[in-house]
Amino acid sequence: MKKKLVSLLLSASMVAALVGCGGGDSEAPAADDSNTSTDAPADSSASTDAAGDTAAEGEGEAAASDYQLDTLNIVVDGTLTATLDNGQPEFEAQWEDAVAESLGHPVDLVIQQLDHSGYIDAVGRLFAGGDYPDAMIMPAAMFKQYAPTGLLWDMGSAYDNADFQERMALPSVNENLKDSQGRLYGFAYGYGNGCVTYVKQAWLDAVGLKAEDIKTYDDYYDMLLKFHNEDPDGNGTTGDTYGVIAAGFMGNEAPWINYLPEFWQDAFPAIYQDESGTWVDGFQSDATKEALLRLQQAYKDGAIDPESLTASTKIAREKWFSNDQTGAAGAFAYWAGTWYQTLTDNLIKNEVDADLVELAPIQEIKDSWGGYLNREAPVWVIIDDGDGDDAREQAVFDTLIETMMDGDKVQTLWTYGAEDVHWSTKAESFVTNPGTENEKSYEYADGEFHLKPSPNDSNTLWKKNLIDPALVICPLTNGFEDTSELASEGNKFFTENCVDAPASPTSETYTNETGNIYDAQLACITDVVTKGGDVDAAMETYVSTVGSTIDTILEELNSAE
Amino acid sequence: MKKNKKVVTSTGVAVREKPLGIRIWNNRGYYIMFIPVLITVIIMNYWPMLGIRYALYDYKPVGTPKLIGFDHFTKMFSTDAFWVAFKNTLQLSIMKLIITTITSVVVSVFLNEMGNLLAKKTLQTVIYLPHFMSWAVVASIFSLLLSPSSTGMVNGWLKDLGLIAQDQAGIYFLAESRWWRPIFYLINIWKETGWGTIIFLATLSGINPELYEAADIDGATRMQKIRYVTIPALMNTIVTVLILNLAKVMNMFESVFVLYNNAVYDVSDVISTYIYRQSFAIALPNYGYTTAVGLFKSLVGGALVIICNQISKKVRGRGII
């Protein structure tokens, strides 16, 4: 017993000693308590380590133009489609050559591509470990939460004085990102894009409907019911298909309603600014209650695939274009533009009738929002090393963003990928899907810009790299253009039928409580939609769970205005 | 001069104990061999424990952690979702433990009674196999089988048998609170029963055959032999298995994580999945809060280990630690 007691005490003292050792400030990962951008935001040594170059080179004395960046560390998500197995090494090498030529000195580009679906989580872990890149991509909602932390560099001045301003086609995109004091913490290279509702033409034909006749919610709902009840896939069984499928009844990021816009209509189940400029909780509105009742009815009627509750975007789209259309749905709201082509390609690959039609926004959407919602754009952010000198950050801006918008070589790399890997101007001919009914031949003359087959899938034509040429704020000046007809048509359709989504909120309490609020919202939605619960009772539970937190957030937001 | 105390060697000879320094020197080979182990334990087991202090800090991915005292614990104890997760952790773990132990015992006894060795070995192999499948694969398989859509096999059977009307929507087994737990237990039985039988079969093979012979002489039936010989012989092992596993009940994560969804948080969310969502599903998580929840989980787990140790001492005459 005595021995055990002694060993217990020894263990406890060892732990206490270790805890004591580690309690010093030297372990602190980043330094900013003030929520202002001018304060030191991040552990500069960590930032330097991440960059791989020496911050000492530029500390204090070097002017922005003198600072020479040797290594550029960037973190990206899956929107950089030139992945490691899809031509990224070639992209990287060509970027280094082009930038060296442009800046007059070599820069080593280090890309850290994180898993797209777990990006937010992975970035958090990266930062918590003190591993800061020079620049990174942030989705809009994530950016809104990081902007006030002081971690991000205010690139307002760099942006205003950038060379690409001369060619700026969509100035409002970044002007809207500036705060009331003109600070710009993130650079959007294009507008956000959004989702439109795609419908399988063969299914419309099978149930005797025309897309142009789907004008109101009643028309839309009637179409969904027909897709469920009238055997649109022609397998002889009714009720084994669904009207629509989505990745969740509510999206997991802003603008929340874009995967089922016809059901949500005028509702916006999140905190947003109303017409008067007051921040409100749209989830508690009558519009949301009505939307939940519509979803409840659709779930009950089989108009919506019940697996929408648990489906990820990948599962939803794969089920939608799967080879076996039993259990599939006829309508699917998904991203506009390039995805129009991608969805079609996948239907072709799976030997399913690939004719798709883009559904114009129904009257209820037009009357409320005015069209499909154009989400807030993802942005590039530059990490502020907190040394009080902007030289390094300006160099990152010049190396990454200024060149990215050069209209020529580097912008082409970010737009279409690597030359002779993803695209080419050399004479060549190739065939996709050889030996199948979808076989297609391509032939190009010397000097003709064209996209090549994807490096990892020779039957699919490469579409784009990071920047969508149709959405970019500064167009290319070299005349390179090879966007598929469908992608162009999709972009045109979306831009003609979209409005900007409400801006995401920025508040300390909101940041702290996002997880709890989202859980409470999902609980309310599933309670009503899948369990057939009373909407008022479910809303009361929501209010009793997070109502006081929401009030605090609204107070913070409205007092800050 | 202080005299060294006497110690008795393994051969029973009483000798005066040498000073510590000399003993260490004499056994330096062992101590040198132990150094890597000690370093590994410190680095891998104790060093990460420094993070415990963040339970008292406001600690986000950016910014300096700020000492806030016990605020996270106050928030944690006043959050309904935490208590739901805590209650679910205990309920799911303990029920799973009891059910899988019972099924393992029953299957072991049946296997033990099988006379055909080939059939016995084949059956053993078949029931062991699910244990080697990852939970992600298991979840995918059962999600497909239990799908509420027209492609779900189980709902198809129910419709064919007339238990669900043809025009009625299928049951969403993994998204309905009343179904989720039974399905979770069933999947656990399917996956873990085979593996659980190993220790019981080992015990069964060690039962003295004379006990069965004596029972035969007394005219005992097969069921009576199971009841009066086999089960009593297994009792000590059953108690040991229960006690050892009871200490681990707070560690449930993977099996729940791959099978749950937001529609069934009320019956499925456990402490570990709650921590996961609070840490990784939001842009700027407060690691301080999740550390506090994790610390609470560890303390409860530690208390369970001590309780189990005491029970073990009482029941088996020796502790587990």
B41 & B177 share domain: no
Q: Would you say residue B272 lies in a domain?
A: yes
Q: What is the pLDDT of residue B193?
A: 92
Distance of CA B42 to the CA centre of its chain: 25
Question: For residues A239 and A359, is the Cβ–Cβ distance under 8 A?
Answer: no
- Lowest pLDDT segment from A29-33, A424-428, A456-460: A29-33
pLDDT above 60 (res A463): yes
Q: Would you say residue B64 lies in a domain?
A: no
B42 & B189 share domain: no
Most confident of A95-99, A313-317, B192-196: A95-99
Searching chain A, which residue's CA lies closest to the CA of residue B261? A310
pLDDT tens for B152-182 read 899 999 988 988 887 777 899 999 999 999 9
What is the CA angle B70-B73-B74, rounded to 5? 85
Look at the domain A195-374+502-560 and name its fold. Answer: D-Maltodextrin-Binding Protein; domain 2 (3.40.190)
pLDDT tens for A403-435 read 999 999 999 999 999 999 999 999 999 998 888
Q: A516 by DSSP, 3-state: which?
A: helix
Q: Would you say residue B321 lies in a domain?
A: no
Q: What is the pLDDT of residue A80?
A: 95
Q: What is the pLDDT of residue B247?
A: 75
Backbone angles phi, psi at B189, to 5 degrees: -60, -45
By the 10 Å C-beta count (0-12 exposed, 13-18 middle, 19+ buried), A161 is classed as: exposed
Question: For residues A427 and A444, is the Cβ–Cβ distance under 8 A?
Answer: yes
- Which of A21, A42, A124 is opposite residue B280, by nearest beta carbon? A124
B48 & B91 share domain: no
Residue of A512, A528, A548, A553 to mutate, interface with B, max B Cβ within 10 Å: A512
Task: Please give the tally of structural domains in chain B.
Answer: 2
Distance, CA of B293 to CA of B84 (rounded, Å): 13
Domain that holds residue B255: 71-316
Residue of A516, A517, A528, A552 to mutate, interface with B, max B Cβ within 10 Å: A516
Searching chain B, which residue's CA lies closest to the CA of residue A124? B61
pLDDT above 60 (res A97): yes
Q: What is the pLDDT of residue A86?
A: 93
CA dihedral A306, A309, A314, A317 (to 10 degrees): 40
Q: Which residues of chain B from 98 to 157 reach within 8 Å of chain A, CB to CB?
A: 143, 147-151
Question: For residues A203 and A235, is the Cβ–Cβ distance under 8 A?
Answer: no
- CATH number of B251's domain: 1.10.3720.10
The stretch A160-186 carries a mean pLDDT of 91
- Which of A145, A242, A305 is opposite residue B283, by nearest beta carbon? A145
Most confident of A52-61, A106-115, B274-283, B284-293: A106-115
Confidence of residue A217 (pLDDT cuts 50, 70, 90): very high
Q: What is the pLDDT of residue B3?
A: 61
The stretch A10-38 carries a mean pLDDT of 39
- Which of B62, B80, B261 is opposite residue A310, by nearest beta carbon? B261
B53 & B145 share domain: no
Q: β-pairing, B6-8 with B14-16? A: antiparallel
Q: What is the pLDDT of residue B15?
A: 79
pLDDT tens for A228-250 read 999 999 888 888 899 999 999 99
B173 & B118 share domain: yes
Which among B36, B58, B80 is the end of a domain? Answer: B58
- Which of B61, B265, B283 is opposite residue A519, by nearest beta carbon? B265
The stretch A36-42 carries a mean pLDDT of 33
Q: What is the pLDDT of residue B280?
A: 81
pLDDT above 50 (res A15): no
How many residues are present in chain B? 321
The stretch A504-508 carries a mean pLDDT of 85
Q: Would you say residue B33 lies in a domain?
A: yes
Q: What is the pLDDT of residue B88?
A: 96
Distance, CA of B61 to CA of B272 (rounded, Å): 20
pLDDT above 90 (res A549): yes
B52 & B99 share domain: no
B80 with A25: Cβ contact below 8 A: no
Give the 3-state DSSP-derived string for A378-400, with helices as H, strands as E and coil as C.
CEEEEECCCCCCCHHHHHHHHHH
Q: Which of A258, A254, A248, A250 is nearest to A140 (CA)?
A: A254
B284 with A124: Cβ contact below 8 A: yes
pLDDT above 60 (res A20): no
A42 with B175: Cβ contact below 8 A: no
Searching chain B, which residue's CA lies closest to the CA of residue A544? B80
Question: Which CATH number fits the domain A35-192+377-415, given the four candidates 3.40.190.10, 1.10.260.40, 1.10.10.10, 3.40.50.720?
Answer: 3.40.190.10
Distance, CA of A525 to CA of A519 (rounded, Å): 10
Distance, CA of B262 to CA of A189 (rounded, Å): 35
Between B10 and A282, residue with greater pLDDT = A282
Between B272 and A46, residue with greater pLDDT = B272
Q: What share of chain B is helix, strand, coil (3-state, %, to 5)?
A: 70, 5, 25
ipTM: 0.75
Most confident of A37-51, A379-393, B238-252: A379-393
Beta-bridge mates of residue A428:
A444
B91 & B194 share domain: yes
Q: Would you say residue B1 lies in a domain?
A: no
C-beta neighbour count of B12 within 10 angstroms: 6
Distance, CA of A392 to CA of A61 (rounded, Å): 11
pLDDT above 80 (res A561): no
Q: What is the pLDDT of residue B69?
A: 94
Q: A359 by DSSP, 3-state: which?
A: strand
Q: Is B174 on the interface with A (CB under 8 A)?
A: yes
Give me the tens of pLDDT residue by residue for chain B, a chain 321 residues long. 556 677 777 777 787 878 889 989 999 999 999 999 999 999 999 999 999 999 999 988 887 889 999 999 999 999 888 999 999 999 999 999 999 999 999 999 999 888 888 999 999 999 999 999 999 999 999 999 999 887 889 999 998 898 888 777 789 999 999 999 999 999 999 999 999 899 999 999 899 999 999 999 999 998 899 999 999 999 888 888 888 888 788 889 999 999 999 889 999 999 999 999 888 877 888 899 999 999 999 999 889 888 888 887 887 777 766
Q: Would you say residue B257 lies in a domain?
A: yes
Q: What is the pLDDT of residue A267?
A: 96
Distance, CA of A547 to CA of A381 (rounded, Å): 33
Backbone angles phi, psi at B7, to 5 degrees: -130, 155
Q: What is the pLDDT of residue A223?
A: 97
pLDDT tens for B18-57 read 888 998 999 999 999 999 999 999 999 999 999 999 999 9
Backbone angles phi, psi at A365, to 5 degrees: -75, -40
The stretch A345-367 carries a mean pLDDT of 93
What is the rounded average pLDDT for all residues in chain A? 86
Confidence of residue A157 (pLDDT cuts 50, 70, 90): very high
Q: What is the pLDDT of residue A38?
A: 31
pLDDT tens for A141-154 read 889 889 888 899 99
Q: Before A255, cis peptide (omega within 30)?
A: yes
pLDDT above 60 (res A371): yes
Q: Would you say residue B249 lies in a domain?
A: yes
Q: Would you say residue B66 lies in a domain?
A: no
Q: Where in chain A is the domain with CATH 3.40.190.10?
A: 35-192+377-415, 195-374+502-560
pLDDT above 60 (res A43): no
pLDDT above 50 (res A499): yes
Question: For residues A394 and A67, is the Cβ–Cβ distance under 8 A?
Answer: yes
Q: β-pairing, A271-273 with A428-432? A: unpaired
Q: What is the pLDDT of residue A28?
A: 33
Q: What is the pLDDT of residue A27?
A: 34
Q: What is the pLDDT of residue A23?
A: 39
DSSP H or E run through A279: strand A279-281
Sequence-distant (≥ 6) Cβ neighbours of residue A9 within 8 angstroms: none
Backbone angles phi, psi at A451, to 5 degrees: -85, 145
Q: Is B45 on the interface with A (CB under 8 A)?
A: no
- Which of B261, B265, B286 is opposite residue A309, by nearest beta carbon? B261
Q: Which tokens is A50 given?
A: 């991440």
B129 & B171 share domain: yes
Distance from CA of A323 to the nearest CA of B (A): 13
